[in-house]
Chain A
Amino acid sequence: EPEVTQTPSHQVTQMGQEVILRCVPISNHLYFYWYRQILGQKVEFLVSFYNNEISEKSEIFDDQFSVERPDGSNFTLKIRSTKLEDSAMYFCASRVAGGSFNEQFFGPGTRLTVL
């Protein structure tokens, strides 16, 4: 069964460093998302990506964040200069074209720890 994969599963970095979180969505999916969950808090929407551009982003997704689909398979989230408060579990998701009632398939997440 197709699944969304994410690498690495755990990333430890120093404050101020750049990190890139990688995701491989399901191959025929056209909408891509990043969410994060700070320990003990809700899963929060960061950004959606469709047709090679950002379609919607949250207030969290400031200039320190960027997303890219560099080839036909990968979808990346870059944090330019990490802060302590960026420590969280980051989930990638994807879905097929069509209405927003279509299921989003989630990856297992990357746990980012900023020291």
Chain B
Amino acid sequence: AQSVTQLGSHVSVSEGALVLLRCNYSSSVPPYLFWYVQYPNQGLQLLLKYTSAATLVKGINGFEAEFKKSETSFHLTKPSAHMSDAAEYFCAVSANAGGTSYGKLTFGQGTILTVHP
């Protein structure tokens, strides 16, 4: 079984400030972890993913995330927020279960990021 918890349904930062969006997961098998972003009236777009290689993962638009097994966390960060980062962000987990997994994603509840001038 898998689950994802995103702490904070809304996060507000100033332009240029650090962005930190929190994600904790639970998985009975080694996980694959993903961050997706959704802009208004658009589908979910992949920001980055952890697939059991490097624990620090870099993604698009300057975002990165660090997989910490001991903390069961995969927090998303960006050193300096831009107005265009305003969107909803979803953390998701998929089971690394070899041939028995068809890739079902289990999502967190989402975090809406607001960036103000």
Contacts and interface: CB of A to CB of B under 8 A. Distances in A.
Interface of A: 4, 31, 33, 35, 41-45, 48, 50, 55-56, 58, 91, 93, 95, 99-109
A50 B41 CA distance: 28
Contact of A101 (B51, B92, B106): B51
B73 interface: no
A108 B42 contact: yes
Given A31-B103, A48-B103, A50-B102, A4 B94 contact: no
B44 A44 contact: no
Interface of B: 32, 34, 36, 41-46, 49, 51-52, 90, 92, 94-97, 101-110
A108 B103 contact: no
B42 to A, nearest CB: 6
